[in-house]
Chain A
C-alpha cells in the first residue's frame, strides 16, 4: 500500500480586499438616528467592522456583507440599499467568469472546498464542460468514501508511453527496454501562464508549490534561471528553438515539451541523444483534424501528446468547439486505432475548476494542465492590464515566494478534495480508471434528444404557458 497522498493546506490571507458581487449604499440624509439602528443589529456585525481600505477605496462593509438584507428591509426611512458592483461584473471574461475567479480566490486562501447552502443557482447547462454531468452510484453499485478518509482514493497517474506487451528470450531476460514513466500524484500539471505581471519570486513560489504537491511545472525554457535549477526535477521546460542548448538537457529534467512540427521526430531524436530517458511531450493545437494529427504522432512513436486549446477553452479555428470535444475526438480516434494505452494524453486550455479535471479525464485525457488558475490563486483578476504595460492592481510580482507557494498548494488541495468527492460519488478508487469512462458521465446532447426531442409539435391554434 503506497503512502496516502495528502495536501496540507494552511490559511493564506488575501493581500488585497477581494471584489464582491454587490455593495451597500447607505444614504445618510434623512436618517432618524434611531436608538436601535438596524446597523447595530447586523447579525454579522458588519457595520462594526466597517472601515475604508484607502488602497482600493473599498468600504469594508461591502466585502463582509452576507446579503441577508435585514438592514435594507428594516430601515424605517429605507435609506440602505444594495446594488450589483459594476467592478465585479467586469472581472474576467465569458469563460473566466466572476463566479469562477472569486471561487478560486476562496480556495487559494483557505484550501477548502467551496460549500454553500441552498440549491444550485446557475444555468441549466452551458458550453463545453457545462454540457455534461458526472454520474453517481446508488444502491446497485458501491460508492467510495474518500473524503472522510475511510477509503483511499488514488489520484496518481503515469506520464509516458507504455508498451502493449513485453518480450523475453529463452532465459527469461527482458528483451525490451522498459519505458520511462513519471508518476505524479495528482492528474494536474501546472504551467506558467502567458499572462501576468510575475516576478522571480512568483516563479520560485510556483516551483516550491509544485515540489510540495509532487507534480510538475511547465514553463518556457528561457525562464529557467539559477534559483529555479534547484527545482529541475519538477520542471517541464518548453522548448521552442531547435538545438539552442549546446550542452543538451540536464539529467535532472525528466520531461520536456516541444510544439508539433513536421520534423518532430528529428527533434525528439536530437533531444534523446544526450538524455535517453527524457520524456518528450508534443503539443498540438486543437483545430480541425487534430485527431488525425494525434494519431500520426502516436503511430510515429510519440509517448505524450498535449492537446492545447485557447485560454477560453475553444479551438483555434472554431469557436463552437471546446476542450471537451477535442479530448473526446482524440481519445476515441486512438481507441479505434487500438493505440490509446500506448500514449499519455494531456489537455490544456480553459481548465478553470476542479470539475474540469474530472470531466477532462472522463472525456479521455490522462491529466490536465492548469495555467491561469495558478495566477488567479495570487488574486489576479484577468484584467489584462499587464499585457498593456499598466501596473498590476494586485502587485503580483511583489508577493513573497512562500505566500505564492501556500496559495497554490491551497488551491490544489481544494481541487484534490473535490476530485475525491466526485470520484467517491462515482464509486471509482483510482483516477487512472476514470480515463475515458464515459459510462460515468451524462451528456447534454444525448439527454436532451432522448427526453425533449419528441416535444416539438404544438399543432394549430395553441397557447403556450
Chain B
C-alpha cells in the first residue's frame, strides 16, 4: 500500500532548480533508498516531505489524500518523522531533558521514562539518559537523534544520510533499526550516497541526478553498475583505482613535520589527543583513520594552529610553531582544509572574491593594507577547480556545499606555493566529481614534493591515497604502517 506519493514536484532556489518534476512513491513495509550524489536534490526532497520547504509546483498525497505540508509540525502531525543528518540537541541539557523538550513531555513523568526504556530495549540501543549532551560523542548524539524519532509514533520514517557521521558499530545499529521499522509495517525512506548500503538494506531504490529522477527500481533487479551509471550519467570506475607508487626512497626524504607528545582538548574541555607523536616526510601522504570522534579533528586543528595546545610540541620545516597562529603557519606554505566548510572554512556572507583572498592577506594587500589582488588570478584559480569564473561576486551563502569546498580548495592550494596540506575529512559528504578533483589535486601536489596529512572515515579512500596509514583510537595512534605493509583485513578489524 502506498504511504506517500509525490507528483511533479518542482522546487527552485535563486540560482538553481533543486527538484525538477520529480515523481516518487513510498510504500508501507519497505525500505526505499534515495540515491544520488551531492547536489542531486536528495536533501531538498526530504525537506519538502518533512515540511521545511514549500514546493513551487506539484502535488503530495498521503494515504491517497492530497495534502499540503507547510511546516515540520504539520509533517509530524501527519506521522512523518525524520531523523536529521546533524542532530539538533541542546548541549547543556541531559539526554532525557532533550527528549522531553522535543516531544513536549515532562522529563519527570515516570510513564514517559518507561516509554523511552521500552523503545531502547526494543531496538537494542545504548543510550545513557542522564548524560549531558555536550559530554556525548558524535555517534552518541546520532543515537539520541534516532531515539527521538523512534519515540514519535510515526507512519513514515525518513533517515537522511544517517550513516555518514557515525562509526561502524552504529552504522550496523542504524541499518538494523530501519529493518525493524520496516518489519513492523512502517514506511522507511533512506537517503544515502553510498551504493553498497542500498544493496545491504533497501527494497527499492530511486536515483536522483541534478534535480531529476532517473528511475525507481527494485534493488533485486538492479546492478551496482546500473546504479552508478544512473548517479553519474556514465560508467564510473569504482574501487581498484590505481595510484602512482611513491613509497620508495621515502626514508631518504627530509622530515617536514614533527609532532611530539601532543595533548589537545576539545571545545568542551575534554582531552581528545593524548601523548601523540608522529613525523611526516617531504612528498608523503599520511592518512589517519579511526572510529568517529577519536581526536582526529582536534589533532589537525592543533597542527593548523586553530586550536590551543595543552602541552607538547609541533615543529614544521624545522621551526617550532607550537605557539604561532594560523596566519603565521599559512605563510610557511601550509594549506588547511577544515571539515566544517560552512562555519569555519568560509565566510558565508562575504563574496567568493573575499573568501579567496582572506587567508592570504599578506600576498593580496600592500604594506599599508590596501588591496592589490589581480582579478585575473582569482578567476583563473576558480576555473582550475572547475567553477565558473563569474561567481567571484556571488556571496558564498548562495553556493552549494560542493562548490564551497572547491572555493576553499582554490584558496588553500592555488594562491601560493604549498608545502604541507592538512585536510580534515576533505571529501566527506561530497559528490564523486569533487572527490575526484580533491584526490587528483592531492596526488599531483604530492608528486611535486608537497606533504599531506588527512583524515577520513572511508577506509578505501585512505588506502588509495596514503603512502602511510595511521589508526587513531581514543586520542592515540595505535597502528602505523607504510602502505605496502598494511594488512587490510587487520585494519578493518581494528576499525570495527
Q: Do A and B bind each other?
A: no
**A interface list, Cβ under 8 A from B:** none
